[in-house]
């Protein structure tokens, strides 16, 4: 990567995200400061977008409560790159969900503005875990129950 293509603010943002992902993936307070107030977070599947930082926080908090970690379950960064305005990161995330160890492959495509993520597209490979796939497919229903505002981004 050419260092001239990225602002100092966006470089700090990427560095902080990578440190949180690998060393403090369950630290919601540290994570949400990386997001703009009007952030849009889209999840694939199920094809919904969370609108605004408060809805993203509710979703992340709910996801964190549904899983447990130990020394064998963590985030492992596989690859990342940036063009200075967009940041893409692929990682494995292992956790215990309902007592079952799961490992998902995730790719985040993030847009950066003024040293914050203002748009995040999260793509989850559910082929290796029926449990994760079911949980994601139930997200629209769970979001309604929990009062999390979202829009449908993909029609069935």
The DSSP result for the chain, as a single string, is: --GGGS-HHHHHHHHHHHHHHHH-TT-HHHHHTTEEEEEEEEEETTTEEEESHHHHHHHHHHHHHTEE--TT--EEEEEEEE-SSEEEEEEEEEEEETTEEEEEEEEEEEEEETTEEEEEEEEEE-TT-HHHHHHHHTHHHHHHHHT--EEE-S--
Q: Looking at residue 75, what is its pLDDT?
A: 87
Query: How much is the average pLDDT of 79-86?
Result: 96
- Rg value, the chain, Cα: 15
The highest-confidence range among 31-35, 89-93, 124-128, 144-148, by mean pLDDT, is: 31-35
- Residues contacting 75, CB < 8 A, separation 6+: 21, 22, 25, 91, 92, 93
Provide CATH code, domain 3-152: 3.10.450.50
Q: Are strands 116-125 and 35-44 parallel, antiparallel or unpaired?
A: parallel
Q: 154: closest CA among 133, 134, 135, 140?
A: 140
Q: pTM for the full model?
A: 0.81
Q: Looking at residue 103, what is its pLDDT?
A: 80
Tell me which of 24-28, 31-35, 91-95, 116-120 is least confident.
91-95
93-120 pLDDT tens trace: 877 877 878 788 889 999 999 999 999 9
Q: How far apart are CA 30 and CA 27, in angstroms?
A: 6
- Residues contacting 122, CB < 8 A, separation 6+: 41, 42, 43, 44, 106, 107, 108
Query: How much is the average pLDDT of 123-136?
Result: 71
Q: How far apart are CA 46 and CA 123, in angstroms?
A: 10
Tell me which of 84-88, 110-114, 149-153 is least confident.
149-153
38-65 pLDDT tens trace: 999 998 888 889 999 999 998 888 877 7
């Amino acid at each position: 990567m050419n260092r001239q293509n990225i602002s100092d603010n966006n470089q700090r943002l990427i560095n902080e995200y990578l440190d949180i992902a690998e060393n403090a993936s369950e630290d919601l307070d540290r994570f949400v400061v990386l997001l703009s107030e009007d952030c849009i977070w889209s999840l694939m599947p199920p094809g919904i977008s969370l609108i605004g930082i408060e809805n993203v926080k509710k979703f992340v908090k709910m996801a964190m409560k549904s899983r447990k970690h130990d020394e064998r379950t963590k985030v492992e960064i596989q690859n990342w790159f940036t063009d200075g305005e967009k940041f893409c990161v692929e990682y494995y995330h292992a956790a215990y969900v309902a007592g079952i160890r799961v490992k998902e492959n995730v790719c985040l495509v993030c847009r950066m503005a003024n040293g914050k993520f203002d748009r995040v597209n999260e793509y989850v490979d559910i082929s290796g875990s029926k449990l994760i796939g079911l949980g994601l497919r139930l997200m629209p229903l769970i979001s309604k129950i929990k009062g999390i505002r979202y829009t449908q981004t993909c029609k069935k």
